[in-house]
Chain A
Amino acid sequence: MPENDIGGAKRPANPLRDPRDRRLNRIAGPSSLVLFGVTGDLARKKLMPAVYDLANRGLLPPSFALVGFGRRDWEHEDFAEEVKAAVKAHARTPFDEAVWAQLSEGVRFVRGSFDEDDAFLRLKDTLEELDAKRGTRGNHAFYLSIPPKAFEQVCRQLSKHGLAQAEDGKWRRVVIEKPFGHNLESARQLNEIVESVFPADAVFRIDHYLGKETVQNILALRFANQLFEPLWNANYVDHVQITMAEDIGTGGRAGYYDGVGAARDVIQNHLLQLLALTAMEEPISFNADDLRAEKEKVLAAVKLPEDLSTHSARGQFAGGWQGGELVQGYLEEEGIPADSTTETYAAIRVDINTRRWSGVPFYLRAGKRLGRRVTEIAVVFKRAPNLLFLDQHEQEFGQNAVVIRVQPDEGATIRFGSKVPGTQMEVRDVSMDFGYGHSFTESSPEAYERLILDVLLGEPPLFPRHEEVELSWKILDPFEEYWASTGAQPEPYAPGSWGPASADELLARDGRSWRRP
């Protein structure tokens, strides 16, 4: 974004801005964040604390306002108390009375339901009051932390009351969270609704994974180093495994989760985004357009296996002991129908039809109640020709791997063979580990801090475009349709394990095995 292009109006350059002066952080311009769905978990545990943390780091403008919209019978002060409690419980940075006092002056609450015209009129009055008294200057972002079925109504209401249209030199933006539909068609419908009200560049789709430091570090690791990129192709890479494992069950999200399942819940968005960042070509710049263009190219090049039955696996966790705790199976969890065929584990193989990745399978797996909570990308290299260490079985020292750990304990690991001390020439695999927390700040910013700031600054590189969402559904839909066509119950797996036997067979067929993350 050009330095002096604010709200579309060209102005003379600011003499205090010098591109070499990198101490000057960009702070968001005058604006407000309007939060729909104030009582949700996400709002309390992530969004409100992130807003406070940004204020505490001095990255919000003094005029910043936070407006809550909800059905509760709250005054501004009550909502401010709720925010304060959420901030105290969940904020990353220490609580500072002075920062809070400054922030809380801009906290407002508008009571009403989504179908109530009066409520949106009150919202409009509130925003006008903020423009006049707080100095938000007509810049407002609407954060829809609400179920997708309510999107249409809220968007229409915003449009009807003139809240979605920005005057010249001002902006209105809308932030939506996944799921972006449950298949290609519904994603298109959803997008039509949102983009009928807001222009495409005012829609910010949050995939909070993309706000994580390690995910952004994939780009640094790949493109800021000379070490990895020459090896990052089919000549040296054997295959890639992308894993997102959770050790919990549906945990209160049963109502949402059933009927959605692991593949739609995380493979379609998080894992395919990780795949895109791992596999894409080097973008010509970090501009949103250039970055997204590369991601779209690689997603468009994804080729599905011809026989989906042998290249995918689904599972459903059973009850039993997990890590010293007796847990219920998926079908016994509260709110789940006893005959549900929703999968809690899904694994798929895809290929990428480019010269760089020709013949390199990408295995994606996601599941609940697995061995431990971990998200990682493992790039597994081809086996070295074993010419010297003849008395050793190839199994004893394996394939080199670069593993990018996304969460928890963000970092990267390189596995390579090393001589075992002693008189014999024996080789064993060792790991070289880089922990983000060891080399950098002990508390790196939360993903939502970065993303909310980017919304207010209007910087879209970390937000997927609708085209990416469509491409992701095009990859996943055939698997979903195949699974639905079999009508089979997903294969049960023991809690605390690494998924059903069919998932292991999926790799065994290709002569490979899953990494233990």
Chain B
Amino acid sequence: MIIDLPNTTTSKISKEITNMRHRGGVVALGRVLTLVVITKHGYEEEAIEAANEASREHPCRIIVLVDSGRDSADRIDGQIRVGGDAGASEVIVLRGYGRLAEESESLVAALLLPDAPIVAWWPHGAPKDAGDTSIGRIAHRRITDSGNEPDPTSALYRLRETYQAGDTDLAWTRLTNWRIQLAAALDQADGSPVTGVTVEGASDSPSTVLLASWLTLAFDAPVTIVADPAGTGIRRVRLHRATGDIQLYRPGLTVAELTQPDQPNQRIALPRRSLQDCLSEELRRLDADEVFGEVLASGLPRTNLRSVQPSER
């Protein structure tokens, strides 16, 4: 069910939600968090779709703030979606015009769930300092996506400068499955230390940089980035060791091959993660991701970002 409330206020929206509950038993209980999505006109549907899917794992109230143009007269158009149109959640879309186009705590205060954590997500257009925005200050977790920034590497450095506990970035989330497989492979390896690492991935991907930074920090060994054409994601991680290298190599987009000394080659399904997958993972834990903070603070500056071209193999 979708209800449009043109030219409205958040207190009217709040009243309408209560009414809906009374009328149809459209219940909004058992929600575990409020997800505030801050986005621009034209980008909102993609974000809502991912958030709806993620809400099946984490029932939440989704508030979408859409910057609909700062040149128009001041106004808010509201929309409430529940039931089949909103996954396991309820979606409140606020299209702000004029001076109401900018996100602010006062805009959402009446709609936040009582006593539930707040997660802020900027799917496109990360702010200069997420923790210092009006919503960012009240949020327990701030999700940006440096992969959607025009210059991802400088976006990472900006994240580093402004990082505070609770910040996270989807470029880091996209790495989780790679990191799991690498850690698991190393669990089984003999104790021979890793003396060097090669990370091969798309030159435009902040995930490549973050993976290199994580490995730099973990192994205290030189990491070389091999630049692939844009749009290929991560292709290869090779851990150089005296007793034999360990390599995880994904030539295509789904299946990766794991090579270890004295073991048959093994194949792993390692597909690129969907937006919904990443968002679900982010919502699973709402405490600070300290490892991410350290990778930004200590790993990133120590990582050699000057990439080399892939050799012919």
Q: Give the interface size bracket for A toward B.
A: 35 or more
One digit per residue, 1 when the CB lies within 8 angstroms of any chain A CB and 0 when it does not, for chain B 52-87 equals: 000011110000000000000000000000000000
Other-chain residue from B57, B193, B264, B285 in contact with A22 (beta carbon distance below 8 A): B285
A434 touching B188 in the complex, CB below 8 Å, given contacts A102-B269, A442-B88: no
Stretch at the interface among A127-135, A157-165, A172-180, A392-400: A127-135
| Most central of B181, B267, B269 by chain A CB within 10 Å | B269
Interface size on B, residues (CB 8 A): 43
A132 touching B264 in the complex, CB below 8 Å, given contacts A12-B191, A434-B30, A442-B88: yes
A98 touching B180 in the complex, CB below 8 Å, given contacts A132-B264, A438-B59: no
A-B contact count (CB 8 A): 103
CA A257 to CA B173, docked complex, whole Å: 50
One digit per residue, 1 when the CB lies within 8 angstroms of any chain A CB and 0 when it does not, for chain B 18-48 equals: 0000000000011110000000000000000
Q: A63 near B: Cβ within 8 Å?
A: yes
Q: B312 near A: Cβ within 8 Å?
A: no
* Contacts of A40-64 to chain B: CB distance below 8 A: 55, 58, 61-63
Stretch at the interface among A25-33, A248-256, A315-323: A25-33
- B239's closest neighbor in chain A, by CB? A16
Q: B176 near A: Cβ within 8 Å?
A: yes
A15 near B188: Cβ-Cβ < 8 Å:
no
Question: Given the complex, which residues of A lie within 8 Å of B7, measured CB to CB?
Answer: none
B187 near A14: Cβ-Cβ < 8 Å:
yes
Q: B268 near A: Cβ within 8 Å?
A: yes
One digit per residue, 1 when the CB lies within 8 angstroms of any chain B CB and 0 when it does not, for chain A 1-43 equals: 0000010000110111110111111110110000000000000
CA A105 to CA B184, docked complex, whole Å: 20
Q: B212 near A: Cβ within 8 Å?
A: no
A23 near B58: Cβ-Cβ < 8 Å:
no
CB of B222 to closest CB in A, whole Å: 15
CA A440 to CA B190, docked complex, whole Å: 40
Secondary structure at chain A's binding surface: helix, strand, loop or mixed? loop
CA A23 to CA B173, docked complex, whole Å: 9
A440 near B188: Cβ-Cβ < 8 Å:
no
B188 near A6: Cβ-Cβ < 8 Å:
yes
B179 near A23: Cβ-Cβ < 8 Å:
yes
CA A102 to CA B271, docked complex, whole Å: 12
B191 near A16: Cβ-Cβ < 8 Å:
no
Q: B182 near A: Cβ within 8 Å?
A: yes
B281 near A23: Cβ-Cβ < 8 Å:
yes
Other-chain residue from A27, A98, A439 in contact with B255 (beta carbon distance below 8 A): A98
Q: B157 near A: Cβ within 8 Å?
A: no
A24 near B179: Cβ-Cβ < 8 Å:
yes
Could you jot down 16 A-B contacts, CB within 8 Å? A6-B187, A16-B218, A20-B291, A23-B173, A23-B179, A25-B180, A62-B268, A63-B263, A98-B269, A98-B271, A102-B255, A102-B267, A135-B263, A438-B30, A439-B59, A441-B58
**A binding-site residues for B, Cβ under 8 Å:** 6, 11-12, 14-18, 20-27, 29-30, 55, 58, 61-63, 96, 98-99, 101-102, 105, 132-135, 137, 434-435, 438-442
